[in-house]
A and B are shown apart, each in its own frame.
Chain A
Amino acid sequence: MSYVSLIAQLYGRSMYDIATDHAVALSAAIALLVFILVFVRALSFLADRRVALALQLREAYATTPAMAKLAAILMLLSGGIHLALVPGHDGITGQLFVIDGLGFIALGIAVFLTSWWRRPAALWLLATIVAYIVWVIAGWETPDQIGIACKLIEIVALGLVLRLNGRVGGSWLRRAWRATAFPLVAVLTTLGIWVGGLAHPDALHAHAGALLQPVAAVATPEERAAAAQLLAATRASIARYQDPAVAIAAGYKPGPASSADPLRHFENQANRNAILDPNRPQALVYAQTPRGLQLIGAMYQMPRVGQWGPDPGGPLTQWHQHEGICFSPFGIEFSFETPFWTCPVGSTSITTAPMLHVWIIDNGKNGPFAADLDKTIQRQLTGRS
């Protein structure tokens, strides 16, 4: 249910999506939190009625420091998530999830009943985080939002456990290590997930930051004909805008010029609600060539984020949306969002509404509806490497 509510209007798909077989973990995490809350209340209720075991457990709970309590809850949460993910993972990964989940639950309980739990908990958390990074970089696991959220939980738990260590003094080297070890784990975890995600993008990522519409693998003859018709109609419709001045007179506004991007989009806000209408494309695409601007295509765009457009050509007319991108306030400049959804200060994470390019020039092996202009064609047009 939690997954369904997320993938509705507000969610769509994203760069680090929720893998279908991981969705159950969201519900498990929520259920576990509710269970912990009910268990603590029930314990208190029974202790008030002088039940011996409940009295002992309540005493153990009351004398546990708040930091340790939070670390225990986070470890129980991580354990529950790992166990919920077991059915979707075969082989060694599934077996490790069982061991990991049970280990976290045992350590979460040990927090309230033992005094020796800190070092095993720190090692268990660190081993789990390192194993995840190894799995992601090796391509055995795709980083998705459940996996990343689980690592966030474990990083915070590790930070709490390390702070509970409470050691003071020692050489400056030892103190420096204690101060930097935890931030280093957080930084390396982020970088590790990022490297894994970029090194092994799934089939729906045209490149980092562009997500493709899910479509069938092979186009039918009817879809091929419809795609050819869309290309012809678009080419005929936008031929009148070869001169950028004509496009501007028709209401298309040139986007900012960028030294990083030799393509310029001229957008027409009046067409924003048109849907795949060759007579009213949302934008025209020009290449900045040594001879001036050259019209090379049109761009159709849907009115809203997460709303895929009609694809008459099936896999040939596959829409894409840009996401996981941090836009700077200094014009068309962008960097990539980190797996933990952070952007440089001042820039904004933006997901565009789905778009479909129609290239009216030969776009090489990428074809006329590709998300990107073929790099070789782009170099030939713009004279830039």
Chain B
Amino acid sequence: MNHATSTGSAVEIAAVLVVVQASFSLVAGLSALPFAIVEPGFRILGLVTILIAIGMFWLAHSLRRPRRWAWRWLVTMELLSLAITALLGLLPIGAVRGPVPVLVNLVIPLAVLVLLAARSGDRPTQAGPADPA
């Protein structure tokens, strides 16, 4: 398998993982809306989460094009996500307990970062596969 094919696969795998993350964020945002009826803060948080989820769908789509800005935005978001999870994991508030939070909040962001890093070498010229969407 040549280098171009392997980096193309890395982008595709990263895009799938970002779509999974975006879907989970979308549910988290939607789930906040019923609480927003009596809790005004969650109106803002719910809407912001839904907007971020939509943005992540768009970034996953743009990553396959490939778009440099999508790569940069995703690296920033995943780094931020990992840093926040690591910080919360250190606090005695039980934020990360069991295999599901470890997979969703640590393993997937880390995997996306590794896959994006694998692709960083040929970012400007790499032609991604055609996007069926």
Which residues of A lie under 8 Å from residue B116 when comparing CB positions? none
- Check if A338 sits within 8 Å of B94, measured CB to CB: no
Q: Which one of B6, B9, B28, B133 lies within 8 Å of A342 (CB-CB)?
A: B28
Which residues of B lie under 8 Å from residue A259 when comparing CB positions? 38
Known: A338-B28, A351-B95. A63 touches B1 (CB 8 A): yes
- Check if B39 sits within 8 Å of A338, measured CB to CB: no
Which residues of A lie under 8 Å from residue B31 when comparing CB positions? 194, 335-336, 338, 344
Tell me the B23-51 residues at the A interface (CB within 8 Å): 23-29, 31-32, 34-35, 38-42, 44-46, 48-49
A154 CB to nearest chain B CB (Å): 11
Tell me the A323-345 residues at the B interface (CB within 8 Å): 323, 326, 328-331, 333-345
B120 CB to nearest chain A CB (Å): 16
Contact of B103 with A by CB under 8 A: yes
- Check if B16 sits within 8 Å of A346, measured CB to CB: no
Complex: A168 Cα to B58 Cα, angstroms? 18
Which residues of A lie under 8 Å from residue B97 when comparing CB positions? 6, 10-12, 14, 351
B82 CB to nearest chain A CB (Å): 15
- Check if B29 sits within 8 Å of A304, measured CB to CB: no
Tell me the B73-99 residues at the A interface (CB within 8 Å): 88, 92-95, 97-99
- Check if A168 sits within 8 Å of B130, measured CB to CB: yes
- Check if B32 sits within 8 Å of A344, measured CB to CB: yes
B-contacting 9-mer, from A178-186, A224-232, A279-287: A178-186
- Check if A306 sits within 8 Å of B94, measured CB to CB: yes
- Check if A149 sits within 8 Å of B103, measured CB to CB: yes
Q: Which one of B16, B19, B88, B133 lies within 8 Å of A348 (CB-CB)?
A: B88
Contact of A98 with B by CB under 8 A: no
Which residues of A lie under 8 Å from residue B93 when comparing CB positions? 305, 348-351
Q: Which one of A66, A339, A351 lies within 8 Å of B9 (CB-CB)?
A: A66
Which residues of B lie under 8 Å from residue A187 when comparing CB positions? 23, 26-27
B-contacting 9-mer, from A155-163, A247-255, A363-371: A155-163
- Check if A305 sits within 8 Å of B94, measured CB to CB: yes
- Check if A149 sits within 8 Å of B99, measured CB to CB: yes
- Check if B13 sits within 8 Å of A67, measured CB to CB: yes
Known: A145-B98, A323-B94, A348-B93. A329 touches B41 (CB 8 A): yes
Contact of A26 with B by CB under 8 A: yes
B94 CB to nearest chain A CB (Å): 3
B68 CB to nearest chain A CB (Å): 21
Closest A residue to B33 by beta carbon equals A335
Which residues of A lie under 8 Å from residue B52 when comparing CB positions? 345
- Check if B100 sits within 8 Å of A145, measured CB to CB: yes
Which residues of A lie under 8 Å from residue B20 when comparing CB positions? 152, 155-156, 159, 186
Contact of A18 with B by CB under 8 A: yes
In the complex, 25 of the A-B residue pairs with CB atoms within 8 angstroms, ordered by the A residue number, are A16-B98, A67-B9, A67-B12, A149-B99, A149-B103, A152-B20, A156-B16, A156-B20, A159-B17, A163-B15, A168-B130, A175-B132, A178-B133, A190-B23, A191-B27, A260-B38, A305-B92, A331-B41, A333-B41, A334-B39, A340-B100, A341-B100, A341-B101, A341-B105, A344-B46
Q: A333-B39, A343-B28, A346-B49 are in contact. List 12 more A-B contacts (CB 8 A).
A: A6-B99, A159-B17, A175-B132, A260-B38, A304-B92, A328-B42, A330-B40, A336-B31, A346-B44, A347-B45, A349-B88, A351-B94
Q: Which 4 A-B pairs have the closest CB atoms?
A: A351-B94, A330-B41, A186-B23, A179-B133
